[in-house]
Structure 1
Amino acid sequence: MDLFGPIPVRSLGGNKYTLVVVDEFTRFTWVVFLKKKSHAAQEIISLIRKNETLTGLKVKQLRSDHGTEFRNSTLEEFCDHKGIGQNFSAPRTPQQNGVAERRNRTLIEAGRTLMIHAGLPITFWAEAVNTACFTQNRSLIHRIHKKTPYEMLKDRKPDVSFFHVFGCVCYILNQRDPRSKFEPKADKELLSCPFDESPCAEEKSDSSDPIIPVPCPLNQDTAATSADNSLDTDETLEAENFPETDNVSVSISPESA
């Protein structure tokens, strides 16, 4: 695992750091966005507990550099209690933590490419990195096992039928109640995060309502992105930053915070 940042421009969720955790065997990757480096220890503990519950497997070893976000009393006490070994790379030798370091570069380059293609400002860096991680977990093929990281971890093939172009224009059914006869039936948004595999698990942020999960029928115009349409990206806000999970679906709408 590794951490990159601070990013000079805060993300839409106010974050400046990204925690990257890679499973050595499957190469499945999780990204968690942080406002402060000191939050990393608790996020790592939460991620370990969650995945041990989901998979029934036990984490045996953590490998990282000597950063204080990884070498601290909170994480050391947790690892001692769980019987997890901590392995640190030598100072100024990132090659010894090569898997995580190379993953950082891959995610950063993919995120940059997504933002340039969509014509989005740098404030969308977290959404772009999250999308890159989500799609690569379900598309990159392991050279030896001939499977994606998702299939190796979950023991089933991923559904990629819901994938759409990052930053494309999408239209979400307007389900506000009441709605006048001549009010638009759909709201024009930008797709800023991967969608959940279930079509009824979308999340929509509206300027007049709190963020609530609703079954939102959604259509994408993959031919149009923010680079060539009239949607003003300066007035858009993504609801939240999410770590990479199976339930990561977000749309963006006029700023509410």
Structure 2
Amino acid sequence: MPIKSWGGAKYILFLTDDYSRKSWVYLLQEKNQVMSRFIDFKNLLEKHTGANIKCLRTDGGGEYCNDRFKCFLKSQGIIHQITVPYCPQQNGVSERLNRTLLEKARCMLQESGLIQEYWGKAIMTVLYLKNGSPTVALAGLMPEQVWIGSDIDLSHLRVFGCIAYALIPEQKRSKLDPKSKKYIFVGYSDSTKVYRLRDLQNARRFFYATYVTFLELFEGHG
């Protein structure tokens, strides 16, 4: 990515489980973080499913094709399949995912009026929606649905970039203080069903809230 995200990320690592087609995204400040993020992903997937990763398919980038990464994969019994240069169709799932997510994130930023530094939040939101969308590859099922083995509830989805009023807990306000604070909605939590909000007074401060009222018609924000 040409522009750093608010968190300082410049690169994106996508990982997709071939069986469920569920995908994960990691925002990286440097390419040398790829191996550590892959280890995080491996631990998550294997503990969640009880199965082991048997094969990793990547392009021939130096972040994957280095002695340290090769040794790790070999020690774990993971076959490393490397695609042929200039032959992206050999890794079509990842290539299509990369293109689709970037195009949708670009549209979401333009529609919301948020500046480009929010590309990381947009990417993560698009991936969240992708995992909860039916796909032909799964005969109309959703990746998240296949991953967890049960139906999922999508009633909490909201318009990216809209105004959001988060409830201020009683313990943090007096009787005459406002009951809510105005934010901008910029995505969902990775682990629980809460909303990720941006502070209007401090663009670099993000806040998580469960009790939120949304104003989903807007003209865009800076």
Sort the TM-score into its range (normalised by shorter chain): 0.7 to 0.9
Secondary structure of the residue that 1:62 maps to in structure 2? Answer: strand
Figure out how many residues of one structure are paired with residues of the other and give that number: 219
> Residue type of the partner of 2:185?
L
2:147 equivalent in structure 1: 153
Q: Deviations over 1:95-153 (max 9, x none)?
A: 22221111100000010111111111111111111111101111132345331111122
Give the TM-score of the pair, scaled to structure 2: 0.88
Q: Distance in 2 between matches of 1:91 and 1:197?
A: 36
Larger mean CA deviation between 131-140 and 170-179 belongs to 170-179
Deviation for aligned residue 1:50: 1.1
2:56 equivalent in structure 1: 62
Q: Among all aligned residue pairs of Structure 1 and Structure 2, give the percentage whose two residues are the same amino acid.
A: 30
Cα distance change of structure 1 residues 203 and 164 upon mapping to structure 2, 3 Å threshold: closer
Q: Distance in 2 between matches of 1:44 and 1:86?
A: 13
Alignment of 1:1-257 (within 5 A): 7-143=1-137, 145-175=139-169, 177-195=171-189, 201=194, 216-224=210-218, 227=220, 233=222
Secondary structure of the residue that 2:47 maps to in structure 1? Answer: helix
Cα distance change of structure 1 residues 54 and 98 upon mapping to structure 2, 3 Å threshold: same
TM-align CA RMSD: 2.6
**Greater RCO structure (CA 8 Å; 6+ sep):** 1
> Residue type of the partner of 2:163?
V
Deviation for aligned residue 1:65: 0.7
Q: Distance in 1 between matches of 2:39 and 2:190?
A: 25
Deviation for aligned residue 1:16: 0.5
The runs of 5 or more residues in structure 2 that have no matched partner are none
Secondary structure of the residue that 1:98 maps to in structure 2? Answer: helix
Secondary structure of the residue that 2:188 maps to in structure 1? Answer: coil
Give the TM-score of the pair, scaled to structure 1: 0.77
Deviation for aligned residue 1:205: 7.3
Q: By percentage of residues, which structure has more helix?
A: 2
Q: Distance in 2 between matches of 1:214 and 1:118?
A: 20
Secondary structure of the residue that 1:193 maps to in structure 2? Answer: strand
